[in-house]
Amino acid sequence: MKQLVRMFTAVFLVAFVLIYVTFQLNSTEGYSSGNTLSIYNWGDYIDPDLLKQFEQESGIKVIYQTFDSNEAMMTKIAQGGTTFDVAVPSEYAISKMKEENLLLPIDHSKLSNLKYINPRFLNLSFDKENQYSVPYFWGTVGIVYNPKLLGGKEITSWNDLWDGDLRNQILLVDGAREVIGMGLNSLHYSLNDTDEAHLQEAKNKLNALTPNVKAIVGDEIKMLLAGEEAAVGVVWSGDASEIMSENDELDYVIPEEGSNLWFDNMVIPKTAKNIEGAHEFINFMLDPEHAAQNAEYVGYSTPNEKALEYLPEEIAGDKRFYPDPSVTDKLEVYDNLGKRMLAHYNELFLEFKMYKN
């Protein structure tokens, strides 16, 4: 009997030690393993100091992961097996995620800082009443170019990119909508065109651009252009602003044929486990000082009107990155073209990439 008691005590002690060690390993710097917030954002799209500050103020540990396209983000959330509490899709992706029931409604009563967002960025067609999404950053797609490397040549249009003098000088953002859109816009078609003949025409036109295309790249496009590895880049405006803060030889233009106006918003995916924490984080990012700090760090344009007061005039007053409605009204926002057509845009982009290599 004594032996049985001794054995039971030993088993109990071993189990206790194992549970204690597991608990200690799972809890980092005093955070309980249950009190975490999982954030899924674009790469290079937040000031890491803000994440640290949020952790300290809230006592919530942040688990942070990044993606590089709306398509990759949507696939990951749709396939399940993840527990993202906050994600940052663009407008057409928000519309698609709503359609596919992948989002949870946002409780505005928990967002005291929502009032700081410029009404110009609220109630947009992809999410009327902002039931599922809250503005994070906005911008355009355009051309960043280095006149010094182009012998003083100015670039004003998409069609300028087909100039034979630009051989191997162009870097393209790795985005299906952006690149196919550039082909469509260069032919004066809509960025949301679904006419097969127009799409094929755009692809053929893009194929003819390949001698000028040095590479199709992700976030490293900023380093390459700032380092003058290429003279021209097709980029999101925030990346252009970041590049130009590193190298003041460069300039940014929204092409005269037209371009894309985009909005990245914070959402709470269906996968969320910490809905309270998600609201707390979203409200934290809506705080004007935090929004300004974030905009200054990443280089993208904030929709937070009050935050503009905390930004230096050379940022907030730069009309290339904070264009007036008279300019943005002429641009196109991507529509949710539906599952099949979005997949078709991706296929066309892949074919273009294969043709290029």
- Judged by DSSP in three states, 290 sits in helix
CA distance 180 to 348: 8
Q: Find the binding residues for ligand SPD in span 264-293 (CB under 6 A).
A: 264
User: Among 27-35, 43-51, 54-62, 164-172, which window interacts with ligand SPD (CB under 6 A)?
Assistant: 43-51
- Residue 233 corresponds to which amino acid? G
CA distance 242 to 18: 49
Q: Does 312 bind ligand SPD (CB under 6 A)?
A: no
Least distance between ligand SPD and beta carbon 241 (Å): 12
Structure tokens at 198: 């127009």
CA distance 326 to 185: 19
Q: Does 219 bind ligand SPD (CB under 6 A)?
A: yes
Helix (H) or strand (E) holding 215: strand 213-217
Phi, psi torsion values for 10, nearest 5 degrees = -65, -45
Of the candidate residues 42, 132, 158, 345, the single one contacting ligand SPD (CB under 6 A): 42
Quick note: the x/- pattern for ligand SPD over 223-262, rule CB under 6 A, is -------------x-------------------------x
Quick note: the x/- pattern for ligand SPD over 288-307, rule CB under 6 A, is --------------------
The smaller minimum CB distance to ligand SPD, of residues 44 and 287, is found at 44
Task: Give Cβ neighbours of residue 247 (< 8 Å, ≥ 6 apart).
Answer: 146, 225, 226, 227, 228
User: Among 39-47, 53-61, 113-121, 193-201, which window interacts with ligand SPD (CB under 6 A)?
Assistant: 39-47
Quick note: the x/- pattern for ligand SPD over 152-181, rule CB under 6 A, is ------------------------------
User: Among 37-45, 47-55, 186-194, 303-311, which window interacts with ligand SPD (CB under 6 A)?
Assistant: 37-45
Please name which of 208, 211, 250 lies closest in space to residue 229, comparing C-alpha atoms.
Answer: 250
Q: To the nearest 10°, the Cα dihedral for 172, 174, 178, 181?
A: 80
CA distance 316 to 292: 10
Q: Does 43 bind ligand SPD (CB under 6 A)?
A: yes
Q: Find the binding residues for ligand SPD in span 61-90 (CB under 6 A).
A: 90
User: Given the rule CB under 6 A, which residues bind ligand SPD?
Assistant: 42-45, 90, 219, 236, 262, 264
